[in-house]
Chains A and B, each alone.
Chain A
Amino acid sequence: MNTHLIGTDVNRIDGPAKVSGAAKYAAEFFAPEMLYAVVVSGTIAHGEISSMDTKKAMEVAGAVEVFTHKNRPHMAWRDKSYLDEDAPTDGKPLRPLYDEKILYSGQPIALCVAETFEAARAMSRLIEVSYKSLTHQTDLAIAVQEAKKIEGTNRTGIEPPPKPRGNSARRLQTPRSSWPRSTTRLPRSTTRWSCSQPP
């Protein structure tokens, strides 16, 4: 093993570039005919978009397109289509600009595309949106009261949890000494955690 670097001060190869500002950020690499986009975020936490006017934004010099839920390109329908090596295997993938529904504060509602970043940013400020607002709840302790069981979670490839058995609440009310004892000794190799089930 080569150990001559241990205990030795070594200059970073890109040190001078970084301290002098010569090093480039990822956003400073430009391709020919590149376009720039700025996301417009929703300003309510819950509700729906009742109307969106993109006319003024499209009048900005250099404007190319404003994408909203009305004109977005086709989007894959099945959740599976969004899976990649990093995606969580559970839950719903984010479908930006999917429809008029607002599910959270700051939700992306439009994408302004332009020939320059500045034009795209200027466009993003000219989108006129009106909403139909619904109440929102940010306190988890209160929200849990309204939680409901999701029916029909028959997902393929995932074992459903076992059905509940016994009555632990009733059992715990009786003195421990009166609990029935298991007469069978479980061999070490079997699943010992299953002894929480009534013997």
Chain B
Amino acid sequence: MNNFEYVHADGLESAATFMAGHAEAKFIGGGTNLVDLMKYNVEKPTALVDLNRLSLREVEEMPDGGVRIGALVTNSDVAYHSLISARYPLLSRAILAGASAQLRNKATTGGNLLQRTRCVYFYDTAVPCNKREPGTGCPAKEGVNRSLAILGTSVACIATHPSDMCVALAALGATVQVTGSKGDRSIPFAEFHRLPGDQPEIDTTLQHGEVVTSVDLPAIGFAGHSAYVKVRDRQSYAFALISVAAGLELTDGLITQAGVALGGVAHKPWRNAQLEQELLIGKPANRDTWHIFQQALLAGAHGFGENDFKLKLAPVTVVRALEQAAHEGAQA
């Protein structure tokens, strides 16, 4: 491992000041991904700013009816928090579908958003990777790409975002609160992660030195009708090949609110709110509706060989998640 400086942030302002003077520094929360990447020589920060002494560990109700999750609340504490499991069961289920109990106990809310792809080429420093070393190329397109993206890919990169939690946050329409030397910002979840384009080395719209302070959930949590369906190679401790977070509000069999996001298909959780508005809202909650919606949502998907199976798996998983959400059945 490369030598690096290690400092504790005792406040958000001092953290921002330190970051401004250290272009290659990184924040560390639970460290469940960053430390791995450092051991693999993929991440080589010159300094780590440990955020764990900051008081961002509350889950609290907001005046607008929503719930604010502090950036340092662990994944386990979010999943098992009474407010979350009662009002946002979709989020609890998604979190508990990911990683292992040990990792969830350590991983933070903010860190989960910022974890990096598990593409094998990204992890192997002996091979080219545009995300790790921009401009070197992407062997994944003709190589080992079983787990990689079918939507929103670019010539430069076909990586997927690995998070389960983020798929639920996308479906719920969360807001990410950040702060930095230029002040506070609210980033809608759909705008937090980005597609690879010709800059696959950049995962999010967060600027250097900006810290995630909380993730805010809206008042509507789809508590009555939601499902997280995760399809993977084994039933535990595996990343999603396809995952779907679906939340619905129903009145007399008609859909009044909807949020559907996919994991394992793109560089970010895949959601299209406009299609939900056009093809779900006001429509009857039945299979015909789901089919029309999934066709529109997945239009333009294409595989790279090993991951061609996702083109068949994604549509049925979307339908299954929506069907399950509408009937609020058992978990997959």
Contact = CB atoms under 8 A, between A and B. Distances in A.
Interface stretch (A8-16, A64-72, A86-94, A118-126): A118-126
B37 to A, nearest CB: 14
A118 B2 CA distance: 9
Contacts of A125: 41, 125
A122 B126 contact: no
A41 interface: yes
A43 B1 contact: no
10 contacts: A41-B126, A43-B126, A43-B127, A118-B1, A121-B1, A121-B39, A122-B1, A122-B2, A125-B41, A125-B125
A113 to B, nearest CB: 17
For the complex of A and B, 7 pairs with smallest distance between CB atoms: A43-B126, A125-B41, A118-B1, A121-B1, A122-B1, A122-B2, A41-B126
Interface of A: 41, 43, 118, 121-122, 125
Contacts of A122: 1-2
Given A41-B126, A125-B125, 4 more contacts: A43-B126, A43-B127, A118-B1, A121-B1
Contacts of B1: 118, 121-122
Contacts, number: 10
Nearest to A121: B1
Interface in B36-60: 39, 41
Most chain A beta carbons < 10 A, residue from B1, B39, B125: B1
Interface residues of B, number: 7
A104 to B, nearest CB: 14
A121 B39 CA distance: 9
Contacts of B125: 125
A5 to B, nearest CB: 30
A41 B127 CA distance: 12
A59 B2 CA distance: 14
Contacts of A43: 126-127
Contacts of B127: 43
A125 B125 CA distance: 10
Interface in B1-36: 1-2
A139 B98 CA distance: 36
Contacts of B39: 121
B136 to A, nearest CB: 13
A122 B2 CA distance: 7
Nearest to B3: A122
A41 B126 CA distance: 9
B98 to A, nearest CB: 22
A125 B39 CA distance: 11
Interface string B304-332: 00000000000000000000000000000
A84 B127 CA distance: 36
A125 B1 CA distance: 9
Nearest to A43: B126
Nearest to B126: A43
A63 to B, nearest CB: 14
A129 to B, nearest CB: 10
Contacts of B126: 41, 43
A33 to B, nearest CB: 23
A121 B1 CA distance: 7
A122 B4 CA distance: 13
A122 B41 CA distance: 9
A62 B2 CA distance: 14
A43 B82 CA distance: 51
A42 B1 CA distance: 20
B105 to A, nearest CB: 13
Interface in B120-156: 125-127
A188 B127 CA distance: 63
B25 to A, nearest CB: 20
Contacts of A121: 1, 39
Nearest to A118: B1
A91 B2 CA distance: 41
A122 B44 CA distance: 12
B41 to A, nearest CB: 5
A93 B46 CA distance: 43
A131 to B, nearest CB: 12
Contacts of B41: 125
A192 to B, nearest CB: 48
